[in-house]
Amino acid sequence: MTIFFYSTKGRYGCFSNFSRHGFELDGLYWSTSEHYFQAQKFAGTPYLEEVRLARTPKEAARLGRRRDWPLRPDWEQVKDDVMRRAVWRKFEANADLREVLLSTAGEELVEDSPTDDYWGCGAQRTGQNKLGQILMEVRARWRSS
């Protein structure tokens, strides 16, 4: 069975980067994994803090997509690992979410984004589904520990 998720609603809404499940990472508190991910595009600049303090994950995403701010030069090389760290820490810090993730056993997890064919499956469901893959990696790590 495939579990499709996208919004923050429902049993699997916690898989969304917009879910309001905070955690500490790199010595700072992050309201959502979206806040962390988007802020890392500007690591080493004052823009990181502006993104971290955004009121909502949607606002953090909007700020992270700004291209008049200097994007870190290695972003394309590190973005998957940044997401992996955020997702790991989110589920490590929130035991209830970890239980939901572990309850999916061997099911395929797919971010059913109609607009993102990198992190999600895209409108045609042929995208790379990197977020789903990372969630399944994290689940496998928790199951083996």
Give how far the C-alpha of residue 117 lies from the chain's centroid of Cα atoms, to the nearest Å: 15
CATH number among 3.30.450.40, 3.40.50.300, 3.40.50.2000, 1.10.357.40, domain 2-144: 1.10.357.40
DSSP 17-34: TTS---EEETTEEESSHH
pLDDT per position as a tens digit, 7-33: 999 999 999 999 999 999 999 999 999
pLDDT, residue 145, reads 84
Q: What angle do CA 128, 130, 134 make, to 5 degrees?
A: 150
pTM of the predicted model as reported, rounded to 2 decimal places: 0.96
Q: Read off the tokens for 54.
A: 């955004």
Closest among 120, 115, 117 to 134, alpha carbons compared: 120
pLDDT in tens, 90-138: 999 999 999 999 999 999 999 999 999 999 999 999 999 999 999 999 9
Of 123, 47, 51, nearest to 86 (Cα)? 51
Give the three-state DSSP class for 136: helix
Domain locations in the chain as residue ranges:
2-144
